[in-house]
Amino acid sequence: MNIIGPDTLVFGVDDVASCKQYLLDYGLLPAHANEAGGRFEALDGTGIEIAHRDAPSLPPALGTASMLRKTVYGVADAATLDAIAHELQRDREVRKLADGSIESADDMGFAIGFQVTKRRTLVLPAEPLNAPGAPAQRAPNVVGADEHVTLTPRTLSHVVYFVPDAVKAEAFYVDRLGFRCTDRFTGVGPFLRPAGTLEHHTLFMIETPPFMKGCEHFTFHMGGPSEVLQAGSRFVAKGYQSFWGPGRHRFGSNWFWYFNSPLGCHVEYDADMDLHDDAWTSRVAPMSADTSQLFLFQAREKWAPGGPPPAAKAETN
């Protein structure tokens, strides 16, 4: 199954206005938006759609506090779309929608959709880096720090589910849709990569009690670690609450910074994720602070040498 990754996450929210402002402040671009909700996109056209929780157009709620209503995956071509429909119709309803996409549900009850991907191809440089012993990536007199730079998320990276049965949930995506496990936290859940991408994961699942079922977080890729730190700092300055980070994960190696949100889940900035092909052997580790992050910084208010000492020294793990 040539599934590329999530094209769209759909939410039914309590406060449409707050969620709209949050997504705009996060850096997404309004593809279409009004008082009822709308669509907010990264540079490649992947994005988030929101509507009021009572909107009749939304798939049914999960029956928990989660506001996620649907995950729409982009696939490479119509043949893949047909193959997915044929596979899932063996034991569940598959609906064909007016836009040509298909909609069904996974074994945990999450609504899932599939469409021939509408994401745009990006041709953009990564963050340039100058390092001793390597050719310079920035020419002389080109500075690397720009306080006025525009920081727009590039693409929807991954979504994380709380699931009541991680073994059963994983089996559906692996056996039915061709995902592969790249790494695993024992007793917690797998990092899963679909066949159409080399990204370390587009889906991670965490086993939790049934009442918690839903979306733990989603994230968009930025252009590099400096963009994660700068975008996160701007987000904090706008009054949004940092939840975890900034830091760097061990599994996936991606830089991260998580924030609380009015969408009923955490929202992350990330950058520089590992790529894996089918030759990769998945790693297994227990979930702990040491295995989930290579290092972690604690955000503090700005400080300059010669000024009063900061409230507390930045912590690292």
Q: Is the confidence at residue 317, as pLDDT, over 50?
A: no
pLDDT tens digits, 47-66: 999 999 999 999 999 999 99
Is the pLDDT confidence value at 37 over 70? yes
pLDDT at 225 over 80: yes
Pick from 122-126, 155-159, 291-295 the range whose average pLDDT is largest.
155-159
* Structural domains in the chain plus CATH codes: 3-118+154-296 (3.10.180.10)
Residue 14 has pLDDT above 80, yes or no: yes
Strand positions, DSSP E, 57-199: 68-75, 95-96, 102-105, 111-116, 155-163, 180-186, 189-193
Q: What is the pLDDT of residue 311?
A: 64
- CB crowding 127-153: b at 16 or more within 10 Å, else e: beeeeeeeeeeeeeeeeeeeeeeebbb
For residue 246, give both structure tokens. 């900034």
* Residue located via tokens 């669509």: 39
Per-residue pLDDT band at 1 (split at 50, 70, 90)? confident
CB 14 within 8 A of CB 53: yes
Paired sense of beta strands 155-163 and 203-207, if any: parallel
Other C-beta atoms closer than 10 Å to the C-beta of 186 total 10
Distance, in Å, from the CA atom of 34 to the CA atom of 37, rounded to the nearest integer, reads 5
- pLDDT of 168 above 80: yes
The per-residue pLDDT for 313 is 45
- Degrees to nearest 5, angle at CA 249 with 128 and 6: 80
- Please answer whether residues 106 and 59 qualify as being in contact, where contact means their C-beta atoms are separated by less than 8 angstroms: no
**Of 84, 78, 156, the residue nearest 116 (C-alpha):** 78
DSSP structure class, residue 225: H
Which of 85-99, 247-261, 287-301 bottoms out in mean pLDDT, i.e. has the lowest? 287-301
Of the two residues 1 and 303, the one the predictor is more confident about is 1
pLDDT digits (tens, 9 = 90+) for 170-180: 999 999 999 99
